Structure 1
Amino acid sequence: MAAPTKKKSVLFICLGNICRSTMAEGIFQHLVKTNGLGDKWQIDSAALGDWHNGVPPDDRTMRTLKKNGIKDYKHLGRQITKSDFHDFDVIFGMDEDNMSELNEIKPRSFRSKLLLLGECDPDGELIIEDPYYGNNIKDFEKVYEQCYRACNNFLQNSEKFISS
Structure 2
Amino acid sequence: MPQISILFVCLGNICRSPLAEGILRHLAEKAGRADEFLIDSAGTGAWHIGDPPDSRAIAVAADHDIDISGLRARKVAPADFDRFDLILALDHDNLLSLRESAPSGATARIALFSEHAFATAQDVPDPYFGGRAEFDAVYRMLYRGCASIAGSPKEEPPSYNGNTSSVT
Using structure 1 for the length normalisation, give the TM-score: 0.87
SS at match of 1:12: strand
Q: Which residue of 2 aligns with 1:50?
A: 46
In the TM superposition, what is the alpha-carbon distance from 1:124 to its structure 2 partner?
A: 4.3
Say if 1:124 and 1:68 are closer, same or farther in 2 by CA, change over 3 A: farther
State the Cα RMSD in Å: 1.7
Say if 1:59 and 1:125 are closer, same or farther in 2 by CA, change over 3 A: farther
SS at match of 1:74: coil
Q: 1:87 aligns with which of 75, 83, 87?
A: 83
Say if 1:93 and 1:83 are closer, same or farther in 2 by CA, change over 3 A: same
AA aligned opposite 2:33? L
Distance 1:147 1:80 in 2: 20
1:153 has 2:153 as partner: no
In the TM superposition, what is the alpha-carbon distance from 1:138 to its structure 2 partner?
A: 0.6
Question: Identity across aligned pairs (percent)?
Answer: 37
Q: Which residue of 2 aligns with 1:142?
A: 137
Using structure 2 for the length normalisation, give the TM-score: 0.85
SS at match of 1:46: strand
Contact 1:120–1:151 (Cα < 8 Å) also in 2 = no
In the TM superposition, what is the alpha-carbon distance from 1:156 to its structure 2 partner?
A: 1.6
Q: Which residue of 2 aligns with 1:13?
A: 9
1:118 has 2:114 as partner: yes
Q: Which residue of 2 aligns with 1:160?
A: none
1:70 has 2:66 as partner: yes
Return 114-123 or 94-103, whichever deviates more: 114-123
Unaligned runs of 5+ in 2: 153-168
Contact 1:10–1:91 (Cα < 8 Å) also in 2 = yes
Contact 1:119–1:150 (Cα < 8 Å) also in 2 = no
Unaligned runs of 5+ in 1: 158-164
Number of residue pairs the alignment of both structures matches:
152
Say if 1:30 and 1:8 are closer, same or farther in 2 by CA, change over 3 A: same
